[in-house]
Amino acid sequence: MSEDKHNMKDKKDEKKAADESIVKEAEKEPEGKLNVQEKNDDTEGCADIKEKLLRLAAEFENYKRRSKNEIDSSRNSGKAELLKGLLPVIDEFELALISSSQSLDKNLAKGIEMIYANFIELLSGFGLSVIEAKGIYDPYLHETVLVKESDEKEGTILEVIRKGYKFMDIMLRPSAVIIAGRKNGHEDKKQDVAQKEEDNE
């Protein structure tokens, strides 16, 4: 009898152990699923952070580029103002060159010419350039001070009264020029009127 009880107890223990094993396996399965979910969440979180970092890096690069452009623009504006203030000095130098060329003192003329050349070379190194005043008048580059009757094509630049200058793309001063106008403009108009009257008759 005691032997049967002992066997029954062993069976109960085995069944209990089997049940516990099943429960443990069942508990492990959700945990595995939970780990996969956590990994997916971590991956998505890393992707979001990476995207934000890339966006911030791009914005910072744009900010640096914008700041550099603003600094360069400010520097160029300052240089342009300085060069614009020196234009009357250049004009006076050129007048001095003309006067000294008529002087008997050739050393004086040569000295002024050398100083002028060095001065212009220095300013050119900073970006100063002379505006071309040849060919046809350009209202964006030239200022008309006189229109003279000429055989040249209308609008042709005949003479430069005062040189124009620019710094890079910044206009400092337009060239003051004399341009060609229609020769005998009044007579041409009278002929045109007479011709129209004849046509009407």
What local confidence, expressed as pLDDT, does residue 184 receive? 65
pLDDT tier at 53 (50, 70, 90 boundaries)? Answer: confident
pLDDT tier at 161 (50, 70, 90 boundaries)? Answer: very high
pLDDT tier at 52 (50, 70, 90 boundaries)? Answer: confident
Architecture of domain 130-201: Roll (2.30)
What local confidence, expressed as pLDDT, does residue 130 receive? 94
What local confidence, expressed as pLDDT, does residue 190 receive? 47
What residues have CB less than 8 Å from 192, skipping those under 6 apart?
none
Sign of CA dihedral 67, 69, 74, 78: positive
One-letter amino acid of 47: A
Q: Whole-angstrom Cα distance, residue 15 to residue 27?
A: 18
What residues have CB less than 8 Å from 145, skipping those under 6 apart?
161, 176, 177, 178
Among 3-12, 45-54, 67-76, 97-106, whose mean pLDDT is lowest?
3-12
What local confidence, expressed as pLDDT, does residue 57 receive? 87
Q: Whole-angstrom Cα distance, residue 147 to residue 140?
A: 17
Q: With contact defined as beta carbons under 8 Å apart, do 136 and 170 qualify?
A: no
Q: Whole-angstrom Cα distance, residue 174 to residue 3?
A: 124
What residues have CB less than 8 Å from 157, skipping those under 6 apart?
133, 134, 135, 136, 137, 142, 177, 178, 179, 180
The structure's pTM equals 0.59
Q: Is the pLDDT of residue 117 over 90?
A: yes
Q: With contact defined as beta carbons under 8 Å apart, do 173 and 91 qualify?
A: no
Helix (H, G, I), strand (E, B) or coil at 144: strand
Q: Is the pLDDT of residue 73 over 50?
A: yes
pLDDT tier at 41 (50, 70, 90 boundaries)? Answer: low
DSSP state of 174: P
